[in-house]
Amino acid sequence: MRFFNYIRLWLACVRYSLVRSMMFRMDFIMWSLVELLWMGVNVALVAVIYEHTDSVAGWSKYEMMLLIGTSMIIQRLMMGFFWSNIFEFGRNVRSGNFDFFLAQPGNVLFMVSTRKLDLDSLANVAIAVALVVYSLHRLEITPDAWQIIAYVGLLVCGLAISYSIILLAVSLTFWIIKTEGIEGSYFSLTEFSRLPRQAVKSIIINVAFVYVLPVVVISNIPASTLLHGITLQNVLWLAGAAAFWFSLAVFVFNRGLRHYASASS
């Protein structure tokens, strides 16, 4: 299939997701409100902390709000575009329903990853973006066009890393029976993305979650780009990490495909 065929296929999936959401409007509204409430709790927690201090690891209140907003953008995009698809992929491998995707006339990973969208998560991306914009306003920072372009590009890199980590974890389903605990660990890892890098003092945690598994820097580097300008080293670091983790995840997924025994075999 050519590139534009994949675009048309993805747009068809978008239409399907829209129709499904409109058929169950209350479900869409309720989950949107639940996610909005969760985001509000995180913002309120930061506000409470800064009632008692002016700085956390060198980050002021609205710098921290910008970091939280950046982390939320990546998480909501991840949940909206990929989470349900990847989570169901693991279940389908265990049940044998994965055969359905193998029969499709396209790239298996694309078909697995893009079948549906969670519009309630995507709706709250706008709230996260608004938090970032509001924080910049309170900080009296006006990023230039290059900073904004770099910020968006770094968000894509952060999203790619998040996607790769969960794909890598779920791909283990090809070899082991259950991966629910591994899949759920993604949410624990995302907690680190809301921490300033300077707050990670432990050498072990710093090596594990800054360098090896870069869940801290996926939000810290984009936020720092808006706050302090573009740093080539940081851009190359995050882009390189995204390329590495995506390549590793695709490699493991493809190895799993060769290991997969269909339900009919």
Q: Is the pLDDT of residue 172 over 90?
A: no
Identify the residue with better confidence: 70 or 211.
70
> Tell me: the pLDDT tens digits for 16-33?
888 877 777 777 788 778
How would you label 122-154 residue by residue, b for 16+ Cβ within 10 Å and e otherwise? bbbbebbeebbeebbeebeeebeeebeebbebb
Reported as a pLDDT band with limits 50, 70 and 90, residue 180 is low
When pLDDT is averaged across residues 86-110 and rounded to a whole number, the result is 80
- Percent of the chain, pLDDT > 70? 94
The rounded radius of gyration (Å) of the Cα atoms in the chain is 19
Q: How many domains does the chain have?
A: 1
Distance CA 158, CA 70 (A): 10
Q: Is residue 35 a part of any domain in this protein?
A: yes
**Angle subtended at Cα 11 by Cα 128 and Cα 7, rounded to the nearest 5 degrees:** 105
Q: Is residue 110 a part of any domain in this protein?
A: yes
When pLDDT is averaged across residues 124-143 and rounded to a whole number, the result is 93
From 103, 51, 82, select the one nearest 183 (Cα to Cα).
82
Distance CA 22, CA 132 (A): 29
Q: Is the pLDDT of residue 178 over 70?
A: no
Q: Is residue 154 a part of any domain in this protein?
A: yes
Domain of 147 in residue numbering reads as 3-259
Identify the residue with better confidence: 191 or 130.
130
Q: Is the pLDDT of residue 3 over 60?
A: yes
Q: Is residue 265 a part of any domain in this protein?
A: no
The alpha helices in 56-107, defined as continuous H runs, are 61-78, 84-95, 99-102
Residue 258 burial (C-beta neighbours within 10 Å; 0-12, 13-18, 19+) = exposed
Identify the H or E element spanning 200. none
Q: Is the pLDDT of residue 77 over 70?
A: yes
Distance CA 190, CA 184 (A): 11
Q: Is residue 56 a part of any domain in this protein?
A: yes
Q: Is residue 264 a part of any domain in this protein?
A: no
Q: Is residue 223 a part of any domain in this protein?
A: yes
